[in-house]
Chain A
Amino acid sequence: MSDVADRVKKIVVEHLGVEEDKVVEGASFIDDLGADSLDTVELVMAFEEEFGIEIPDDAAENIQSFGDAVKFISEAA
């Protein structure tokens, strides 16, 4: 697993308080990991800080799953 994926997973695990093995490629933050809509905003904030990038609102709306996040950040970072 890539370095980006590891760091994203760590943030998701810490923020949502879920088991690491639940955070798989297709895991939806809201449907599978128990996040509410504000959690997804906070996750994006955390990703921005961790990777020193800016994620615009329209892109943030499309980051619904762990896989989405890793893909977006890998391309942006």
Chain B
Amino acid sequence: MFDLTGKCALVTGASGGIGADIARALHGAGATVGLSGTRVEPLEALAAELGERAHVLPCNLSDMEAVAALPKQAIEAMGSVDILVNNAGITRDNLFMRMSDDEWQSVLDVNLTATMKLCKGVMRGMMKARWGRIVNISSIVGATGNPGQANYAASKAGMIAMGKSLAYEVASRGITINAIAPGFIETAMTDKLSDDQKAGILGQVPAGRMGTPNEIAAAVVYLSSAEASYVTGATLHVNGGMAML
């Protein structure tokens, strides 16, 4: 089950904790992976760990010219992009009343606009192939909102709604677009929280623990698989029951 042999997957944010595990899981299922991210060193290290079928494709997603070039580079390196995982994301938290235009725009640019441009960039090949999988890594806050994260929450909700609209348009071509909305996951970002903060959040998680990056990666593998061909426009919530949506 979930054999991705022969498929080529582009993963953004592959230098981060969740992105790296997504790349590992797709690679483990047989896919060739294109590892994109801003920091080259961790990408090289991951590519070395994976061995064959791994390509390093550095890209700064706040640079729209670099974003437009990334699908082409991925196709050159791998031959095609059959699976696109829009995992990269940034936060610039602030209270709404204090949030600058720049804090708003930079988060929307990287999380939502770059996602849109990458979807567009891989769509031609997927339409011709009559097969494609796009998995957008959204967030629980895209559904629930979060104080201090108006920009991030808007971008994550936008990924879901954009994906649904695109899912309508290309469903007849064998292309699915789905979202995964992680809850509280063990990453470098959540490592910075104090024990009190963690305890406060965990009090709201029925599972009583944080999720792990490989639990997000497993959901990506499923949504990328042939077996998930009838699942499109869906949002898979992976949050230990924190919000049962």
Mutual binders A and B: yes
CB distance from B169 to the nearest CB of A (A): 6
What secondary structure prevails in chain B residues at the interface with A? Answer: helix
Contact between chains at B124 and A38 (CB < 8 Å): no
Does B39 interact with chain A (Cβ within 8 Å)?
A: no
Give the interface SS of chain A, mostly helix, strand, loop or mixed: helix
Assembly CA distance A36 to B127 (angstroms): 14
Contacts of A41 in B (CB 8 A): 127
Query: Complex: how many Å from CA A17 to CA B206?
Result: 54
Which B residues have a C-beta under 8 Å from some C-beta of A? 124, 127-128, 169-170, 172-173
6 contacts between A and B (CB under 8 A): A36-B172, A38-B170, A38-B173, A41-B127, A42-B128, A45-B128
Q: Chain A residues near B127: list those with CB within 8 A.
A: 38, 41-42, 45
Q: How far is the CA of A42 from the CA of B130 in the complex (A)?
A: 11
CB 8 Å contact bits of A12-52 with B (1 = contact, 0 = none): 00000000000000000000000010100110010000000
The number of residues on chain A lying at the interface, defined by a beta carbon within 8 Å of a beta carbon of chain B, is 5
A45 near B124: Cβ-Cβ < 8 Å: yes
State the total of A-B contacts with C-beta under 8 angstroms: 12
Residues of A within 8 A of B (CB): 36, 38, 41-42, 45
Which B residues touch A36, using CB under 8 A?
172
> Which 10 residue pairs of A and B lie closest in terms of their CB atoms, listed nearest first?
A45-B124, A42-B127, A38-B169, A38-B170, A38-B172, A38-B173, A45-B127, A45-B128, A36-B172, A38-B127
Distance in angstroms between the alpha carbons of A39 and B150 in the assembled complex: 38
A10 to chain B, nearest CB (A): 17
Contacts of B173 in A (CB 8 A): 38
A36-B124 Cα distance, complex, nearest whole Å: 16
With A36-B172, A42-B127, A45-B128 already in contact, 9 other A-B pairs whose C-beta atoms are closer than 8 Å: A38-B127, A38-B169, A38-B170, A38-B172, A38-B173, A41-B127, A42-B128, A45-B124, A45-B127
What A residues does B124 contact at CB under 8 A?
A: 45
Measured between C-beta atoms, what is the minimum distance from A38 to chain B in Å? 6
